[in-house]
Amino acid sequence: MTIELLNGDTAVQVSDFSLEKTLECGQCFRFCRDGERWRGTALGRVIELSQRADTVVFHGILPGEFSAVWADYFDLNTDYGAVNEALCADPTLRRACEYGRGIRIMRQPLWETLCSFIISQNNNIPRIRGIIERFCRAFGQPLEGGGYDFPRPERLAECDACDLGELRCGFRDRYIIDAARKFACGGVSAEKLGALDLDGARKLLMTIKGVGPKVADCALLFGLHRTEAFPADVWIKRAMERLFPGGLPECARPYAGIAQQYIFHYARTSGLFSE
DNA sequence: AGCCAGGGTCTGC
DNA sequence: GCAGACCATGGC
């Protein structure tokens, strides 16, 4: 990865990275395309990015900030070439892997990830994005550049489920409040979860109302980068039946979560179930 | 109108 | 442990 300062922007040359696939594969909900650029809110900041071939430009971001913050956020310090090579040992996995090449598992904050995937339950991606947008606008800090930060759990811990009415998030309102209270008091935290094995961390997350196995696994994979976690939603279940009736191939075990994301993207967008 | 969406809870066996 | 009703909302 080579990093270059280009009149106030940072231009990065990196292989195995697709901005579009990474931002559109269903792991994050706060980035939108705006012409050539992607604009989104992350880590308390509004950022704009664009990509041409292997060059990704972080607009208005200096190399120091890129290296300190955004390289890690987009998981650009991980060697996906090596991961992909391991996954390609299985022929079916190879297809999904080649199709999804460029997807990276972003390192998003745990609270934002958990909360987003609580909202995701029995819901579709466009509506999830809408609810999260209203959620941030209603309870988040305004930011330079016109966006709103993701609300802090402490802010929501003082609220009641009925305060979330304008979000139109349905039955999920009380789940968000319960999660906020458990995070605000430290009952659940990245530190506690980090000290536990996968099953223990899963169980602790599932003490939150509205958090079952799938949402817990999303929090572990996308919010704590536990790549052994394998979130199984309706798409993954369908895809597994069709593609891997005998279960996930052994070669995928250490990177089950990364394989999961390739399979999810493949199942949803390749026409596997629509043609 | 009915079905589906990155599910989970609660009840009853 | 497991099936089935139920849960809000909105797009198709």
pLDDT at A39 over 90: yes
Which nucleotides of chain B are near protein (any atom < 7 Å from a CB)?
Answer: 4-10
Q: Is the pTM of this model over 0.75?
A: yes
Length in residues, chain A: 275
Does residue A216 lie within 7 Å of nucleic acid chain B, judged by its CB?
yes
**Nucleotide whose C1' lies closest to the alpha carbon of residue A167:** C9
The mean pLDDT value for A252-272 works out to 96
Tell if A170 CB is < 7 Å from nucleic strand B. no
Residue A273 reports pLDDT greater than 90: no
What is the mean pLDDT of the segment spanning A15-33? 98
Beta bridge partners of A42: A45
A82-137 pLDDT per residue, tens: 999 999 999 999 999 999 999 999 999 999 999 999 999 999 999 999 999 999 99
The integer distance in angstroms from the CA atom of A273 to the C1' atom of B6 is 16
Phi, psi (deg, nearest 5) at residue A10: -115, 125
Distance A6 CA to B7 C1' (A): 46
